[in-house]
């Protein structure tokens, strides 16, 4: 007769039984380990509680025995007592300090958590509002602009009040001549290219004369009443360009604008380039009143 093969149901039930026995064994081992650890902790606590009592009993026994024998024994007893009291006092102080540090750390952590809870952290994109910044040049048009370096002749902070004047650099930027759209007046303006700080700001006075700097064919020197610091002050500037051609071009444009400014100050109108003034005059001439 052929042997019957085991059915799948019998194998699965046997496997389940073996797994249950294994899990029971593991649980029993874990419980045994936990019981052992609890017993060890209890023993340590009991020894920790009885240890100072035992020490005190031993110290007292030694002290009594030594006190009975001689003066040397009494001295030993005294030092032992001092050591024991000092050791207990230090132990108590250390315990108090540790407890105080724990309370301080807990209070600090509570304060930090309280402060952090007051702030809302946003992970989304931050939207910044556009702020309109006015530079004072909105009503002006640029006549010309030249990249250059500006120098000022005056006293430094160390030589202030001594009368010793030297050339000091004010910055690099665009030296520009601007015309106002309403009253048509012209001014010279220069800003530092990185900070955009105003380093020169004065009207194109027809009396200003650009003179060549000594030993250089690409820089001009002039004196004027400047308003860059917020107050009208007499200053001496020197402007240096990349080459002599740019320097000559700037001088020609500067003197041309000076002549235009002189006409404006004298009351003369600007030349009618586009013919707008003539058209307005004709329109006004054609107007009639009701009496006529």
Structural domains of the chain in order of their starting residue, each with its CATH number: 16-107 (no CATH), 140-269 (2.30.29.30)
Q: Is residue 230 a contact partner of residue 259, using CB atoms and an 8 Å limit?
A: no
Which tokens hold the place of 84?
Answer: 């024991």
DSSP 167-199: EEEEEEEEEEEEEETTT--EEEEEE-TTT--EE
Between CA 196 and CA 204, with CA 201 as vertex, the angle to 5 degrees is: 140
Give the DSSP H or E segment for 48: helix 8-69
Nearest of 202, 208, 250, 196 to residue 226 by alpha carbon: 202
Per-residue model confidence as pLDDT tens digits over 168-211? 999 999 999 999 999 899 999 999 998 999 999 999 999 999 99
Give tens-digit pLDDT for 264-277: 988 765 556 566 66
- Inter-CA distances, 65 with 72, 73, 86, Å: 12, 8, 22
- pLDDT of res. 239: 95
Give the pTM: 0.49
Looking at residue 223, the DSSP 8-state letter turns out to be: E
> What whole-number distance in Å separates Cα of residue 95 and Cα of residue 91?
6
| DSSP strands (E only) in the chain | 140-154, 166-180, 186-191, 198-203, 211-212, 219-226, 233-240
């Amino acid at each position: 007769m052929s042997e019957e093969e085991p059915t799948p149901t019998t194998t699965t039930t046997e496997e389940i039984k073996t797994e249950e026995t294994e899990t029971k064994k593991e649980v029993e081992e874990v419980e045994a380990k936990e019981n052992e650890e609890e017993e060890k902790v209890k023993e340590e606590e009991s020894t920790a509680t009885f240890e100072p009592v035992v020490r005190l009993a031993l110290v007292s026994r030694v002290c009594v025995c030594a006190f009975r024998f001689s003066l040397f024994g009494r001295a030993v007893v005294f030092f032992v007592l001092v050591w024991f009291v000092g050791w207990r006092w230090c132990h108590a102080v250390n315990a108090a300090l540790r407890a105080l540090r724990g309370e301080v750390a807990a209070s600090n952590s509570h304060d930090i958590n309280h402060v952090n809870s007051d702030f809302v952290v946003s992970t989304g994109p931050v939207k910044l509002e556009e702020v309109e910044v006015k530079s004072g040049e909105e009503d002006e048009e640029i006549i010309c602009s030249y990249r250059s370096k500006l120098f000022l002749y005056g006293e430094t902070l160390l030589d202030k009040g001594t009368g010793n004047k030297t050339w000091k650099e004010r910055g690099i930027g665009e030296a520009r001549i601007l015309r106002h759209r309403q009253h048509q007046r012209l001014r010279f303006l220069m800003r530092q290219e990185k900070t955009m700080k105003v380093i020169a700001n004065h009207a194109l006075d027809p009396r200003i004369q650009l003179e060549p700097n000594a030993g250089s064919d690409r820089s001009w020197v002039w004196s004027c009443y400047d308003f860059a610091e917020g107050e009208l002050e007499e200053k001496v500037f020197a402007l240096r360009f990349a080459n002599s051609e740019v320097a000559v071009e700037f001088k020609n444009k500067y003197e041309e604008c000076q002549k235009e400014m002189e006409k404006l100050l004298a009351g003369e109108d600007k030349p009618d380039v586009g013919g707008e003034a003539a058209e307005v005059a004709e329109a006004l001439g054609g107007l009639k009143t009701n009496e006529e």
